[in-house]
């Protein structure tokens, strides 16, 4: 890797650190802010959960297709699919925040063992959704700076975590959907 690319990667690291902190904090804050509290009359966006759950499912599919593409040595297709997966994740975040800014959170109504299963899946989904942010950004930066060996190493960690987050997003939705009002 050239000295120029090493320097570029170092410059990106400042952005990665900033975004890895800012994104979860902003999402957490905005998810608790209700537009109605500011006198903004808006109908709840109750139609969004199945949409952003579908986006999570699509993200999982795109991630798998991207891995298949790179294993088949189709680097351009892999690159395009990964950019699409990142774009899907951004759209998911926007819709997730929009829903929570207009609607109250839905409580899980299941009882017994399924309640513990749900909360385990939800907890790991939330924790890993925060952890995955710097991993995705680092993996992406290593690709665009042509640091392919390091990209491959971190991608082996990033992929399964991101896939888990995407799949469990769908599972959480399916488990809680009977309790939406």
Query: Rounded to whole angstroms, how far apart are CA atoms 103 and 33?
Result: 10
Among candidates 137, 152, 179, which has minimal Cα distance to 19? Answer: 137
Confidence of residue 37 (pLDDT cuts 50, 70, 90): confident
Alpha-carbon distances of 58 from 27, 69, 161, rounded to whole Å: 21, 16, 16
Query: Which comes out higher in pLDDT, residue 128 or 11?
Result: 128
Query: Rounded to whole angstroms, how far apart are CA atoms 35 and 102?
Result: 6
pLDDT on residue 8: 77
Domain 3-179: give its CATH architecture: Up-down Bundle (1.20)
Alpha-carbon distances of 162 from 47, 70, 172, rounded to whole Å: 25, 17, 15
Domain boundaries, the chain: 3-179
Confidence of residue 35 (pLDDT cuts 50, 70, 90): confident
Confidence of residue 4 (pLDDT cuts 50, 70, 90): low
pLDDT on residue 3: 64
- If you write DSSP's letter for every residue of 44-73 in order, what string do you get? --TTHHHHHHHHHHHHHHHHHHHHHHHHTT
Q: Which of 19-23, 154-158, 166-170 has the lowest mean pLDDT?
A: 19-23
pLDDT on residue 57: 98
| Side-chain half-sphere exposure of 116, counting CA atoms within 13 A | 2
Q: Write down the pTM of the prediction.
A: 0.91
Residue 96 has pLDDT above 90, yes or no: yes
């Amino acid at each position: 890797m050239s000295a120029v690319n090493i320097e570029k990667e170092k410059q990106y690291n400042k952005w990665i650190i900033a975004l890895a902190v800012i994104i979860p904090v902003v999402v957490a804050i905005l998810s608790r802010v209700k537009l109605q509290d500011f006198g903004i009359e808006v109908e709840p966006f109750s139609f969004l959960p199945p949409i952003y759950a579908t986006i999570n499912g699509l993200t999982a599919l795109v991630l798998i297709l991207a891995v298949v593409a790179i294993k088949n040595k189709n680097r351009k297709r892999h690159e395009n699919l990964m950019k699409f997966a990142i774009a899907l994740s951004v759209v998911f975040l926007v819709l997730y925040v929009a829903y929570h800014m207009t609607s109250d959170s839905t409580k899980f109504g299941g009882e017994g063992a399924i309640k513990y299963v749900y909360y385990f899946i939800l907890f790991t989904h939330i924790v890993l959704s925060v952890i995955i942010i710097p991993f995705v950004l680092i993996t992406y930066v290593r690709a665009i700076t042509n640091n392919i060996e390091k990209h491959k190493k971190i991608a082996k960690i990033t992929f399964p975590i991101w896939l888990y987050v995407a799949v469990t997003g769908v599972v959480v939705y399916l488990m809680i959907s009977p309790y939406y009002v």
